[in-house]
Amino acid sequence: MIRSRFSPSSSPPWLALLLGALLLAGPARAQELGEGLQAHGFISQVVTHSSDNQVGGDSDDGLGWGLREMGANLSWRPTPDWLLSGQVLGRWAGETDDGGLRLDYGFIDRTLVSDGVNQMGLRVGKIKNPYGFFNTTRDVAHTRPGIIMPQSIYLDRIRNFILSAPGAALHGNLAANDMDISWSLGMVQPDTSSADLESLFLLSDRVGKMKGDWTWLGQVMADFQGGRWRAGLTLGDVRMHYQPGGDPLLASGDNRLTPIVLSLEHNAEKYSLTAEYTQARHENGGYGASPLAVGLQKPNTVEGWYVQATYRPSLDWRFYVRRDEVYLDRNDRYGKKNPSPFYPPFILFAKDWTVGVRHDWNAWEFSLEYHDVKGTLWLSPLDTAFGNQTQDWDMVLLQAAWRF
C-alpha cells in the first residue's frame, strides 16, 4: 500500500520556523541527564531539484521539500559493563516515508570480556546491521559521506531493511601492534515493512506481505596505522518469505540474498579515498506458475561499487567527488537479454557522478550536491511510476542539518 506524506508539516514555512528556533538556540551539545545517561538529537532538511523524475516531493522542474529527518536517542551506561541505547525517528522521504515516529533501534549491550585492550560483548534488541563502512552511522546526516548515501551499497529506498533489525549479535575489538580489529556476528529478522521493498523484489507493491526470516550477518573491520588505512569485509545470508494473502498472481514464495561487501579507505591529513564493492546473489523459490511468478523465479546477482575522493582544506570545509554504479543483474546489466514489455530497461541500473561541498559550523552542517545520473534503479516507483521515469537526468540537493 502506498504511504502518503504527512502534509501539515511538509511546507517550507514549517522549515523556516523550525530552523529559526534552532538558530536562536545557538550551539548545542550532547545533554548529560545524569550519571552515565546522555541524550542526543538531530534534524535535517533537504531541498531537491531534478531535471526529470521526482525525488523527495515535486522536484521535477520544481523544488521538493519532502526529504526530512528528526530523531532523538538516549544512551545509559549504569555500569561499565552494561549499555542501554535507543533512538526514535521521524523520517519523511517523498511518498515512501510519511514521518510517523518509529523505533529506529533499541538494544541492551552486555560486555562479556574486557582486559583493557581486547573486548567482547553481546547486544540484544533491535540492533544496527553491520554493513559496509557507513550503515551503523547513516541515521545522522553529519556522519554520511554526502547528502545522499552511495546507492550502490546503501540503497535508500529500502533503508529500513538495511539499517537495523530485531535480533542479537556478538561483537568485539582486538588490538595488535598498529592494527585494530572490530568484528560482529549476529542473527536478525530483517524489517520488511516497506512497500518499496516489494517494488524492488516483486516489481510492485503487492497485496500480500513480505516477512523476514532469521538471517545472519557478519563483519570484520581493520584499522591500520591509527586509521590511515581501513579495510572491511561484510557477509550475510538474508532470507524472506512472501505471504500472498489474496494476491491473485503470486503464491507463497521465498527470497534469499547472500551479499558480500568489500570496503577500503585511505586517510591522509587533507584527503580521503573511499571505495566499496558489493555482490549479492538473489534467489527465489515458489510464487506459483503465473507469468509474473515465472519471471521472479529467475536468479540474479546484484552488483554495485563506488569510489569517492574527499578533500578537506580545513576542519570545517570538505569537497568531494564520487562515481557510483549499481546493477540489478550483473549478467544483464542493461536489460537487453531479457527485455520486459511492462518495464523500461533503465530501471535495472543506475550510474551516478556526484560533486559536493560541505561546511560545518558549530552544531550545523550545510551541504550542496549535484548528481548526473543515467538509470533509475535507486528511484522509488511510489514517487515516479516506472512508466513515467526518464533514463538520463540530473539533480541538485541542498541540505541543512543540526545535532546536539
Alpha helices in 2-117 (DSSP H): 12-25
CA dist., res. 69 & res. 400, Å (int):
11
Confidence at residue 9, expressed as pLDDT on a 0 to 100 scale? 38
Sign of CA dihedral 284, 288, 292, 298: positive
Cα–Cα nearest to 44, from 365, 346, 351, 326: 365
pLDDT number for residue 30: 61
Task: Give pLDDT < 50 ranges for the chain.
Answer: 1-26
Q: Which residues of 166-185 are buried (b: 16+ CB within 10 A; e: fewer)?
A: bbebebbeeeeeeebebbbb
Q: How far is CA 7 from the centre of its chain?
A: 24
| β-pair type (253-267, 179-188) | unpaired
Q: Residues in the chain, how many? A: 404
pTM of the model: 0.90
Q: For residue range 182-229, what is the model confidence (pLDDT) as tens digits?
A: 999 999 999 998 878 888 888 778 888 999 999 999 999 999 988 899
Task: Supply the DSSP symbol for 382.
Answer: T
Dihedral over Cα of 94, 95, 100, 104: its sign: negative
Q: What's the pLDDT score for residue 27?
A: 52
Residue 219 and residue 194: Cα distance in Å, rounded? 25
- Residue reference for cell 591522509: 268
Q: Domains plus CATH for the chain?
A: 100-403 (2.40.160)
Please report the pLDDT score of residue 29 as a whole number. 57
Asked if 238 contacts 214 with a C-beta cutoff of 8 angstroms, the reply is no
253, 221 contact by CB (below 8 A): no
Work out the burial of residue 106: count CB atoms within 10 Å of its CB; fewer than 13 is exposed, 13-18 middle, 19 or more buried. Answer: middle
Contact 234, 216 (CB under 8 A): no
The three-state secondary structure class of 332 is: coil
Q: Do residues 47 and 68 touch, judged by C-beta distance below 8 A?
A: no
